[in-house]
Structure 1
Amino acid sequence: MVRRVRRLLVAAVGAVLVAVMSVGTAHAAPKSAPPGVDITGEGLSEPLRLRTETAPAHVTAVIDQVNWFGTDGARSGPKEADLGPKYTVVVLAGDQPKQTFDLYPLAKGGPRAYRPAKQPNAAKSNAGWFLGRLNMSETLRTAGVPLPRQIEAVSGGVGGGERMLPEESLDPGRDIDQALGELQRLLLLNAGVVIVITLGLAGIALLVRRRTR
């Protein structure tokens, strides 16, 4: 009888441990939200909403226009009369805005971009002006922005520098608050399982003790 009870105990503990490991793995790797882009500006009666599910190439191309800027840009930009039409690009992770930039694809002397100090994700950022890629206008035009075609803009042009939008910044699963929330839920779940196992072991031990008297 004692051997039978021991076998049942081992089987029960093994099943509980497998369940805990499976749930823990699921909570440790939350699915990341896909990136997206919202564009507003001259000639657009409503925001141009680009999402990875429907326009992955356009989302990647537009983000590529702003993800290479350094930490510090120029404090002043061209004269307002030389900037041309402005288009505000908001980079999102799922439906959550992460960063915003003002793009001037037709500025005299080449495309320009401005990064405001105030960002929607509350991250610290230095306001600054940057030279834009030469294909900025064509990238926006092919994405749906009403701009004249620029035949000479074929390659990326100006580029390089430190990346300001690494991949993890577009993954809300990596946000500190969400990570802490997932960890808290996992710890509570594990604590509950430990309590159940402890009570089960106590009950089985009591049963064995009574049967062996």
Structure 2
Amino acid sequence: MVRQMRRWATVVVGTLAAALLSLGTAGPSSAAPKPQPAGVDVTGPGLAQPLRLRSDTRPTHVVAIIDQVNFLGRIGLPTGPKAADLGPKYTVVVLVGETPKQTYDLYPKAAGGPRIYRPAKQPDARKTSAGWFLGRLNMSETLRTAGVPLERQFDTVTGGVGGGERVLPEDTLDPAKNIDDALGELQRLLLLNVAVMLTITVGLAGIALLIRRRTR
């Protein structure tokens, strides 16, 4: 009986030791690989070399630029604006790690508002249709803050799709002028109302006088 108990204890201890040894030798190689950070590369006029943005160092800019193209539908317009109306082209390549996955051509200065062209041929060989899309109104500012040499725009609306080159007219940026114009309009409206009231009063008085004379 004692010998059987010793043998059983030896087996249990050996099993536990083997289990602990297997856990200890299972190093980082057995762990699931961490997802590689996403990034974008931007090329275009004014950039001597591609502007390389990675989510582990510049996550805000990466997210902002990807936001410019992540809302596109499956089918775009077959044709875009004339080449003379497109302005500078900036090519954005979306990467996973260092592997290119998607590519888009952005036209932040296009006449009538920013435009996006999605080529049918994509880096990851996935099937998609070529097409033109209206871009977000803040495309130019998003690219500029990320490092693309574009002129600053103070009157762009954050977000939104489509739109013109200038959202607000120049004269609306002067609040003092707006107040003066508003007061002038109010004064003209009051004068017009007074004139209308006087005309109505005189007309009613004339009608009353005419009726009085006829009833005598």
User: Cα distance, 1:14 vs. partner?
Assistant: 4.8
- Which position in structure 2 is the counterpart of 1:9? 11
Distance (Å, rounded) in 1 between the aligned partners of 2:120 and 2:30: 34
Secondary structure in 1 matching 2:11: helix
Structure 2 gaps, min length 5: 163-216
Alpha-carbon spacing, 1:140–1:9, altered in 2? closer, same or farther (3 Å): same
Partner of 1:109: 112
Corresponding residue of 2:40: 37
In structure 2, which of residues 97, 101, 104 is the aligned counterpart of residue 94 of structure 1? Answer: 97
**Structure 1 residue matching 2:48: 3-state secondary structure:** coil
Q: Name the SS of the counterpart of 1:6 in structure 2.
A: helix
Cα deviation for residue 97 of structure 1 reads: 1.0
2:152 aligned residue = 149
Partner Cα separation in structure 2 for residue 141 and residue 14 of structure 1: 61
Q: Match for residue 47 of structure 1?
A: 50
Give me the whole-angstrom Cα distance separating, in 1, the residues matched to 2:75 and 2:84: 24
Q: Write out per-residue CA displacement over residues 26-83 of structure 1, whole angstroms, 9 at most, x where no aligned residue.
A: 7573210011110000111110011122211111100110111111111111111111
The one-letter code sitting in structure 1 at the alignment partner of 2:159 is G
Q: Which residue of 2 aligns with 1:68?
A: 71
- Percent of aligned positions with the same letter in both sequences? 63
C-alpha distance in 2 between matches for 1:56 and 1:115: 23
* Residue number in structure 2 paired with 1:56: 59
What's the offset of the Cα at 1:121? 1.3
Alignment partners' CA distance in 2, 1:17 and 1:109:
69
TM-superposed CA distance for 1:152, in Å, is 1.6
Structure 1 gaps of 5+ residues are 160-213
Within 2, Cα distance between the matches of 1:140 and 1:54?
17
Q: Counterpart in 2 of 1:136?
A: 139
Normalised TM-score (structure 1):
0.67
Equivalent pairs counted in the alignment come to 159
Q: Name the structure 1 match of 2:126.
A: 123
C-alpha distance in 2 between matches for 1:152 and 1:82: 21
- Residue identity in the other structure for 1:121: D
In structure 2, the CA distance between the partners of 1:30 and 1:104, relative to structure 1 (3 Å rule), is same
Higher relative contact order (CA 8 A, sep 6+): 1
2 CA distance for matches of 1:40 and 1:140?
Answer: 11
- Specify the code of the residue in structure 2 equivalent to 1:58: H
User: Following the alignment from structure 1 to structure 2, what is the Cα–Cα distance between the partners of residues 124 and 12?
Assistant: 56
Amino acid at match of 2:92: V
Distance change in 2, residues 1:16/1:24 (3 Å): farther
Runs of 4+ in 1 over 6 A off after TM superposition: none
Distance 1:25 1:157, change over 3 A: same
2:180 is matched with none
With the length of structure 2 as denominator, give the TM-score of the two structures: 0.66
Residues 13 and 59 of structure 1: CA distance in aligned 2, closer, same or farther (over 3 Å): same
Q: How far off is 1:110 after superposition?
A: 0.5
